[in-house]
Every structure is written in structure tokens, then in C-alpha cells.
Amino acid sequence: MFSDDEKRAIRRLYLWPKLGTYFLFSLFPGLAVWIACIAVDDAILKSQGVYPLGLYSLLPFVFVYVALCLVFSIGTRVIANRPAWRSVERKVFGEAADTPLPGELYAGIGTSAAGRLMDSRDGGTPAGEALQVVGSALGFIGFWRLMRAFHEAARIAAEKDGVRLPSLGAWRAAVVLVPALMFAAIFAPRLVSSAQASSEARAEAAGRVSAIEAAFEGGGCAYVSADDPAQRQTSYGYSVYGYLDDLDEPQVSYACVDTDASGDLKGISYHADIDVTLSPEENLASVRADFDRLASMLSGLGMPSPTLPPEFTEEFLAGTYYDDVSVYEGTEEGFTVYAHFSTDPKEEFDEDSDTYIFLSIEV
């Protein structure tokens, strides 16, 4: 019934519309795999720095798949207008007829154009963006219906004369799986390297945190609190607190040691509550004694000494218990020191006011 050219046209018109659809709609699972790889690398493994190969691998994938979608969809229209397919239509359907464009395509084009017009006039509006989204969705539906119409016509023609058709399952699996395998291959070295680095960093951090925790406990702290790198990995680091006093005491003094994700020292801060019934000189002496005691616990770990800046001391002694004092300074060792006396204004000061001296040393 059909010549070789006609059978070739049937097979192509059966396969090509589906391939165009596969390449278009496979952009979404491909994008999902890429996002998943980025998320695992960044959020789970806490990788440091940017992975350019993985970051920019999405662009060629999108370019190639969009190009192939256009090739097969345009190729479908070309085949449908050739004499071989026209002859098939006359033999099967009695006449050759152009497959009309689905209404969704026209609606999608019009809706998207209306949305862009609203954005250009109003400088971007939710309504304009919503119209563009709806237009895109209608465009996808219209494209799918057009390709399906060509595919169904070829399938019906093939059934009339028993024309052997290519398998769609293998093509569909290949189109969907290729980007997933490609992204897996691209990200695999990075993920393996990040996992190894993360494990090593966590082990180093755990050792450092454990040493600081032991120093506080051995120094006689009433309460010690520490992050556990083995249970919770972070990209910003870990903290260890050592309290000289029980937490329910009226005045509490403590130190906090901060490390990065690898356990290297980022900084140390000291906190001491102020007793407003004492003189500034008495409070300052008590604060220095508490800070020195906490620092002595960490003396074997290479921590900087907690020295209050002279400018801060002068302003604190010259002021009142109702005036905040803040001083920044750099040291010869390259540290950044921040000293702060926190209080409330006199008209707001009451028994619930929180008055304390805070000293931070960033390395």
C-alpha cells in the first residue's frame, strides 16, 4: 500500500513529534537533578567555594535540549508538508489536510504578550507576571497537542498497512536519563571530594571543641555547653561556652570560644554582669578577675588574653551606670577587639535591666 518514501515519512512523523516533546519537557527533570546536586553540595556537604563546572553545566544542557526540540518540531512540520506524507493522507484519510495550530498556542502567545505589555507600562506587576506564566503554560499545552496530532496521524496510518514503528520507550528513557547521568558525572568528583573534606573537617573540629570543653570543665566552670560537630555539621562553625557561675545566679560571667567549620579559632568573647550596687572600680576589678580566670583555663590552647582597651576603661570609670560604652580597636597581633558596656537609660532603668561588660576578640 505504501512506498518506501511513504513508510519513511510515517516512521519519522511518528517519532519526531514525540522527540520534540521529550526534549522540551525533559528540561524540567534535568533542572531538578541539577538543583538537587547543587543542594547536596551546598546544604548537606557544606562545600566551600564555587564549583564552576557544575554551576555552568546547566546552560549547555538547556541550549542543546531546546535546540533539539526545535529541530524535531520544525522537522515535523517540514515532513508533514512533503509529497510523501500528503500521499499517505490521501490513501488513509481520503484527502490531504493541514493540521491546524491548537487554540492554546494562539491563546498562550496572546496572554504572554498581554503580560509583557502590562510589565512594560507599569514597570512590572504581579498581574503581568501571572499572565506571562499562564501564557507559557498554554503554550506548552498547545505545543504538546500539535505534536500529538501529528504522532496520532502517523500511528493510524501505520496501523492501516502494518508499518513497523520505532520504539518510543528507549528514546524516552534516553532523553530523560542523559541529563541526569551527565549531571551525576559532572558533580560526582566534587561531591566525593566535598564529602571527604567535610569528614576531615568535622573530625578536626570535634577534637578542637572537645579540648576547649575539657579545659573549661577542668578549670572549674559551673556549667559548660558545646556544639557537637559529630551530630550537627555547620558551614559557619561551632561554639563552646564556659560559665563560672550557675545560670540562676544574679551575676553571671562566662566565655564563648567560636571556631570555624574546621575547628580553627575565629574568636573568643567574654561576658560579665555588673552589680550596680558596687562602684565602677569594684565592678571593673571583678570583671577583670573573672575574665582572667576564664582565660587561664584556656592558656594551653593558644587563646588571646582578655585585655580591656584603655579607652574603654577610662570611659566606663568616667561615666554612669546608665550610659552605654563601646570601643573598637586593632592590636599589633592583628586581632580586632570590641569592648561594650550595655545598660538602659536612667529613665528606663529598673530591676529587670541587663547591665554587663562584653569583650570580643576576633582573630
Q: Could you write out the three-class secondary structure of 75-144?
A: HHHHHHCCHHHHHHHHHHHCCCCCCCCCHHHHHHHHHHHHHHHHHHHHCCCHHHHHHHHHHHHHHHHHHH
Same domain, 36 and 114: yes
Question: Which of 162, 152, 174 is CA-nearest to residue 26?
Answer: 174
At residue 271, the pLDDT reads 96
Look at residue 251 and tell me if it is in a domain.
Answer: yes
Overall domain count for the chain: 2
Look at residue 30 and tell me if it is in a domain.
Answer: yes
At residue 112, the pLDDT reads 55
Same domain, 219 and 150: no
At residue 201, the pLDDT reads 85
At residue 85, the pLDDT reads 82
Same domain, 9 and 135: yes
Q: Which of 166, 186, 218 is the last residue of a domain?
A: 166
Same domain, 19 and 102: yes
The parent domain of residue 144 ranges over: 4-166
Same domain, 132 and 241: no
Look at residue 228 and tell me if it is in a domain.
Answer: yes
Same domain, 207 and 340: yes
Q: Which of 115, 144, 166 is the last residue of a domain?
A: 166
Look at residue 195 and tell me if it is in a domain.
Answer: no
Q: Which amino acid is at 154?
A: A
Same domain, 225 and 331: yes
| One pLDDT digit (tens) per residue for the chain, 363 residues | 688 888 888 899 889 889 988 998 899 999 999 999 999 988 888 787 788 899 899 999 999 999 998 899 889 888 888 888 888 878 777 665 555 555 554 455 555 555 555 556 655 566 556 555 555 555 666 676 778 888 888 888 888 878 889 889 999 999 999 999 999 999 999 999 988 888 888 889 999 999 999 999 999 999 999 998 878 777 788 999 999 988 888 889 999 999 988 888 999 999 999 999 999 999 999 999 999 999 999 988 888 889 999 999 999 999 999 999 999 998 878 889 999 999 999 899 988 889 999 999 998
Same domain, 207 and 157: no
Same domain, 115 and 252: no
For the chain, give me the number of helices (H) and strands (E)?
10, 7
Look at residue 346 and tell me if it is in a domain.
Answer: yes
At residue 106, the pLDDT reads 46
Look at residue 138 and tell me if it is in a domain.
Answer: yes
Look at residue 133 and tell me if it is in a domain.
Answer: yes
Same domain, 86 and 144: yes
Look at residue 60 and tell me if it is in a domain.
Answer: yes
CA distance 20 to 176: 12
pTM of the model: 0.67
Same domain, 13 and 140: yes
Q: Where are the beta strands (DSSP E) in the chain?
A: 223-226, 238-243, 253-259, 265-273, 325-330, 336-342, 356-362
CA distance 323 to 276: 13
Same domain, 218 and 133: no
